Amino acid sequence: MANTIIALSREYGSGGREIAEKLAKELGFGFYDNEIIKMTAEKSGLAPGYVEEAEERGPGSFFAGIKFSSYIGVDSVAVYETPTTDKMYIAQSQVIKELAEKESCVIVGRCADYVLRDCERLIRVFIRANHADRVQRAVEQYNLPEKNAAQAVRKLDKTRANYYQYYTNRKWGNLENEDLVINSSVAGIDGAVEIIKTLVKVKGY
């Protein structure tokens, strides 16, 4: 029987990661978020810091312009091959596919809904929240300075949207690409978890 995969995307500050982690625990599924950074680094040969920075900055960043040789022993910057962010994305996609083959799991972000679009038992979830609530969460739980929190939330959402569109040619958060969209300002963390669990049950997974 094919594994059930929940690909959960989220607006920054919406509580999406907390929802994903709690959902995975209650379903007995694997949970993958930041762990994917280490796995991607190991597969690509890039340092974990590069992977994390490339994720945060997006494909239009400084890292997108750097190209590395895959030939061991070549230390000249004159040898160019795959841009860092592309190399990272390819390795990250391989990691995500391997995780989906390994076990039923909840995967946070990283274009997993697109990477696993051919998965037989894929559920695509997008978590959003009211802007004011996201800013408040960013300050209280993510320790962003209150003065810059609103701007940071918008910037981080834009980075995620650009990253997603660059690699998928799809609009991030587009209803046509989601099976379920939840406003955590309305449903709350626990409510969102229960809604997703209900969909899993309805689907017979």
Each residue's pLDDT expressed in tens, for the chain with a length of 205 residues:
589 999 999 999 999 999 999 999 999 999 999 999 999 999 999 899 888 888 777 665 434 444 333 323 333 333 345 567 888 999 999 999 999 999 999 999 999 999 999 999 999 999 999 999 999 999 999 999 999 999 999 999 999 999 999 999 999 999 999 999 999 999 999 999 999 999 999 999 9
| Cβ pair 88, 50 in contact under 8 A | yes
Tokens of 185: 């300002």
How far apart CA 181 and CA 158 sit, in angstroms, is: 18
| Helix (H), strand (E) counts: the chain | 9, 7
How is residue 164 annotated by DSSP?
A: H
Q: Provide the whole-model pTM.
A: 0.86
| Cβ pair 178, 193 in contact under 8 A | no
How far apart CA 124 and CA 136 sit, in angstroms, is: 26
Give the residue extent of every domain in the chain.
5-202
Task: Name the CATH topology of 5-202.
Answer: Rossmann fold (3.40.50)
